[in-house]
C-alpha cells in the first residue's frame, strides 16, 4: 500500500495540486484505506468553498481513478 500512497502523492503533486493552488487552496493526501479510498484534506480557499464537492468528484477522484487503478474513490476529510 505504501507504493500506492507514493504514486497517489505524485499524481496529486503533479496534476491536482497546481490547479487547486490557482484557486487559492491546496490539497493534502491523508491516507488510503483498505478499500482503496484516498482520503484528502482541502485547505485554504478550497476548504470551505461551495464547489469543493464538485472539485472532489469531477477533479480529484476522476484523475486519481484514471491514473491509479488501485484507487476506488476519493473522499474529503472534514476538519
User: What confidence score (pLDDT) does residue 61 get?
Assistant: 95
- CATH number of the domain within which 61 lies: 3.30.300.130
Tens of pLDDT, residue by residue over 6-52, are 999 999 999 999 999 998 999 999 999 999 999 999 998 877 777 78
Cell numbers at residue 9, please? 502523492
Query: How many domains are there within the chain?
Result: 1
The Cα–Cα gap between 47 and 65 comes to 22
* Overall average pLDDT of the 53-62 stretch: 86
Residue 45 is inside which H or E element, if any? none
Query: Domain limits at 62?
Result: 2-76
Cell numbers at residue 59, please? 477533479
Amino acid at each position: 500500500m505504501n507504493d500506492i500512497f507514493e504514486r497517489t502523492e505524485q499524481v496529486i503533486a503533479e496534476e491536482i495540486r497546481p490547479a487547486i493552488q490557482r484557486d487559492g487552496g491546496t490539497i493534502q493526501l491523508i491516507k488510503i484505506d483498505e478499500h482503496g479510498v484516498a482520503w484528502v484534506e482541502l485547505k485554504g480557499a478550497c476548504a470551505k468553498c461551495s464547489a469543493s464537492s464538485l472539485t472532489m468528484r469531477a477533479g480529484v477522484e476522476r484523475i486519481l481513478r484514471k491514473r491509479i487503478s488501485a484507487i476506488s474513490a476519493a473522499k474529503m476529510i472534514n476538519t
